[in-house]
């Protein structure tokens, strides 16, 4: 019986479970470059990163003695069935995908092959996350509300990270209140570690540039500066520890025009492709942070991002059923505007600045994503499913499991609070406090109505007005609704008229 292993393009690690089930001499390995993924119109940086990293990992396996085939095909189904036939493979081993759509696609393909004698598909448990689906379900138990903070505390104990016996190091689980400093007077972060593309990456760039017009691929292909193999991922981690870890905390929520990376770690793309493993990253951060005596608020802050948010959103994605993807609690129906899909042209300084950064790198840090892009989509009532699809196609670290929960749940509150205890809705005043964009903008963040009103501010109050009945008794929103109640009817009318003037936003009453 010939054995084949299909390594998916976000499973690029030698210890991935399907590879670990065989010796190199006992199986062939398949990688697929499917043109079908281009139908989503992905960002060039994302697709170059994904395909180049996959090609590099395929080479790594060849050097380790594996027989490797990298098949370029119109679809996964064509690549897989052709490969199985031409090599007479009757047992296919696959590590469980992180993303539900590819899992379903593999099941569909396998079902068509089941008529063949002796054919079998063997799944292996995904070992790229710390919590399995069963372990997460056990933690959920009978809890009515699932909150990241309590999951994170459990993770600290379970994986013995930043613990002193059974107590959190420093006496607190969370130092977030020390980590919300605004960027007064601007900030300049340390330079990030980038890489020059090698000949393999250049070949991928050329291939995708030829396909750019046909598939409407977005963003810039060059300069392409992401690492594309495990060693480069490790180098980025060490560079973060050496140059940014100590100061990561205080300004992790700050947004500075022209400073795309600040003190952010830039390791999520490598973690999410499997080039780095979460526990090795967490242990290394803990060890280096304690040795270097970096402020606990910074060390705890970055550990919470990986051990807390990353594991929690993945756990929820697996825990919720497939209908979660259709969530639309706020009945948002406005189409995604052209200034989003064109990556610029809104006239809003904050939005155009982050879209320009996204266009050049395929990356934004989490507060830019949440409080500029997510926030505007929430306030303006953009179709959640379309917005998730857009986010998933545009970021170098984006996968279905990341974006379903992060965009639907955290960004757009489309799941009615399954993930976030309240909508992350904020006016231009928040962006003025936590960012530097407003200084150069033609809008006034303090104005709620009129031609120079900040769209975030006008839409924020209009959002509260449209959903006032829903949130009137919400423990964390009631205060804002009370504030709205104090506005005169003329003022509320002026806000509604201003919001209705944005042809890209939902208006009307959702109460």
Binding site for ligand SF4 (CB under 6 A): 348-350, 428, 431-432, 437-438, 441, 443, 445, 454-456
Q: How far is the CB of 356 from ligand SF4 (least distance, A)?
A: 13
Peptide bond into 238 cis (omega under 30): no
Q: How far is the CB of 454 from ligand SF4 (least distance, A)?
A: 3
The answer for residues whose C-beta is within 8 angstroms of residue 254's C-beta and 6 or more apart is 181, 182, 183, 187, 262, 367, 434, 435
Please tell me the distance from the alpha carbon of residue 35 to that of residue 44, in angstroms, as a whole number: 13
Q: How far is the CB of 352 from ligand SF4 (least distance, A)?
A: 9
Closer residue to ligand SF4 (CB): 394 or 432: 432
Q: How far is the CB of 253 from ligand SF4 (least distance, A)?
A: 15
Closer residue to ligand SF4 (CB): 92 or 351: 351
* Residue 231 tokens, joined: 């060693």
Contact 352, 345 (CB under 8 A): yes
Please tell me the distance from the alpha carbon of residue 480 to that of residue 235, in angstroms, as a whole number: 45
Q: How far is CA 182 from CA 178, 414, 454, 494, in A?
A: 11, 29, 20, 31
Distance between terminal CA atoms of the chain?
Answer: 62
> In 3-state terms, the chain is what percent helix, strand and coil (to 5)?
50, 10, 40
* Residue 346 tokens, joined: 């809104």
Q: Please count the other Cβ atoms lying within 10 Å of the Cβ belonging to residue 375.
A: 26
Please tell me the distance from the alpha carbon of residue 255 to that of residue 182, in angstroms, as a whole number: 8
Closer residue to ligand SF4 (CB): 217 or 454: 454
Closer residue to ligand SF4 (CB): 155 or 455: 455
Q: How far is the CB of 359 from ligand SF4 (least distance, A)?
A: 18
Q: Strand pairing of 28-34 and 167-168?
A: unpaired
Question: Which helix (H) or strand (E) covers residue 137, if one does?
Answer: helix 133-140
Please tell me the distance from the alpha carbon of residue 477 to that of residue 424, in angstroms, as a whole number: 10
Closer residue to ligand SF4 (CB): 447 or 470: 447
Closer residue to ligand SF4 (CB): 80 or 459: 459
Please tell me the distance from the alpha carbon of residue 67 to that of residue 57, in angstroms, as a whole number: 13
Closer residue to ligand SF4 (CB): 27 or 434: 434
State the Rg of the chain over Cα: 24
Closer residue to ligand SF4 (CB): 316 or 351: 351
List strand residue ranges (DSSP E) for 18-153, in order.
Answer: 28-34, 67-73, 89-95, 120-124
Q: Is 382 left (phi over 0), alpha (psi -120 to 50) or beta?
A: beta
Q: How far is the CB of 464 from ligand SF4 (least distance, A)?
A: 17
Q: How far is the CB of 409 from ligand SF4 (least distance, A)?
A: 24
Closer residue to ligand SF4 (CB): 402 or 426: 426
Closer residue to ligand SF4 (CB): 299 or 378: 378
Q: How far is the CB of 451 from ligand SF4 (least distance, A)?
A: 13
Contact 228, 51 (CB under 8 A): no
Closer residue to ligand SF4 (CB): 302 or 431: 431
DSSP-derived letter for residue 382 is B
Contact 415, 384 (CB under 8 A): no
Closer residue to ligand SF4 (CB): 251 or 437: 437
Classified as helix, coil or strand, 434 is helix
Q: For the chain, give the number of residues.
A: 511
Please name which of 7, 121, 11 lies closest in space to residue 68, comparing C-alpha atoms.
Answer: 7
Could you identify the residue written with the tokens 């939005």?
351
Q: How far is CA 364 from CA 39, 207, 277, 306, in A?
A: 23, 25, 22, 17
Contact 134, 46 (CB under 8 A): no
Q: How far is the CB of 380 from ligand SF4 (least distance, A)?
A: 12
Q: How far is the CB of 95 from ligand SF4 (least distance, A)?
A: 43
Q: How far is the CB of 349 from ligand SF4 (least distance, A)?
A: 4
Closer residue to ligand SF4 (CB): 88 or 347: 347
Q: How far is the CB of 452 from ligand SF4 (least distance, A)?
A: 9
Q: How far is the CB of 375 from ligand SF4 (least distance, A)?
A: 10
């Amino acid at each position: 019986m010939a054995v084949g292993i299909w390594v998916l393009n976000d499973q690029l690690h030698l210890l991935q479970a399907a590879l670990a089930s065989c010796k190199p001499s006992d199986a062939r390995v398949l990688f697929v470059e499917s043109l079908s993924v281009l139908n989503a119109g992905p960002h060039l940086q994302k697709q170059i990163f994904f395909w180049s990293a996959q090609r590099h990992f395929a080479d790594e396996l060849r050097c380790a003695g594996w027989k490797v085939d990298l098949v370029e095909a119109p679809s996964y189904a064509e690549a897989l069935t052709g490969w199985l036939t031409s090599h007479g493979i009757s047992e296919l081993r696959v590590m469980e995908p992180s993303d539900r759509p590819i899992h379903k696609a593999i099941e569909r393909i396998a079902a068509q092959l089941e008529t063949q004698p002796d054919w079998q598909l063997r799944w292996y448990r995904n070992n790229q996350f710390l919590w399995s689906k069963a372990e997460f379900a056990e933690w959920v138990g009978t809890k009515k509300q699932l909150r990241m903070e309590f999951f994170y505390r459990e993770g600290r104990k379970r994986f013995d990270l930043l613990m002193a016996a059974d107590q959190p190091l420093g006496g607190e689980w969370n130092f977030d209140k020390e980590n919300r400093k605004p960027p007064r007077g601007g900030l300049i972060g340390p330079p990030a570690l980038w890489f020059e593309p090698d000949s393999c990456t250049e070949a991928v760039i050329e291939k995708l540039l030829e396909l750019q017009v046909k598939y409407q691929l977005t963003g810039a292909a060059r300069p392409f500066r992401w690492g594309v193999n495990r060693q480069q991922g490790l180098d980025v981690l060490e560079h973060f520890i050496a140059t940014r870890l100590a100061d990561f905390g205080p300004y992790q929520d700050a947004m500075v025009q022209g400073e795309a990376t600040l003190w952010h770690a830039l390791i999520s793309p490598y973690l999410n492709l499997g080039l780095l493993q979460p526990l090795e990253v967490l242990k290394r951060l803990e060890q280096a942070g304690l040795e270097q005596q970096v402020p606990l608020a910074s060390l705890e802050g970055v550990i919470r991002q990986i051990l807390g948010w990353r594991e929690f959103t993945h756990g929820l994605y697996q825990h919720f059923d497939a209908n979660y993807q259709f969530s639309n609690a706020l009945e948002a129906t406005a189409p995604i505007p052209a200034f989003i899909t064109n990556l610029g042209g809104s006239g809003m300084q904050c939005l155009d600045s982050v879209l320009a950064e996204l266009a050049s790198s395929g990356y934004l840090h989490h507060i830019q994503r949440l409080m500029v892009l997510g926030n505007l989509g929430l306030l303006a009532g953009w179709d959640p499913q379309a917005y998730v699809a857009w986010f998933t196609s545009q970021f170098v670290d984006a996968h279905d499991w990341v974006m379903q929960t992060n965009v639907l749940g955290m960004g757009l509150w489309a799941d009615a609070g399954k993930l976030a205890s309240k909508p992350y809705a904020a006016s231009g005043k928040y962006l003025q406090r936590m960012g530097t964009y407003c200084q150069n903008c033609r809008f006034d963040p303090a104005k709620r109505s009129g031609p120079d009103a900040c769209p975030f501010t006008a839409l924020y109050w209009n959002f509260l007005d449209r959903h006032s009945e829903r949130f009137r008794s919400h423990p964390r929103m009631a205060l804002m609704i009370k504030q709205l109640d104090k506005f005169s009817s003329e003022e509320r009318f002026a806000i509604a008229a201003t919001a209705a003037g944005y042809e890209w936003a939902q208006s009307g009453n959702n109460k």
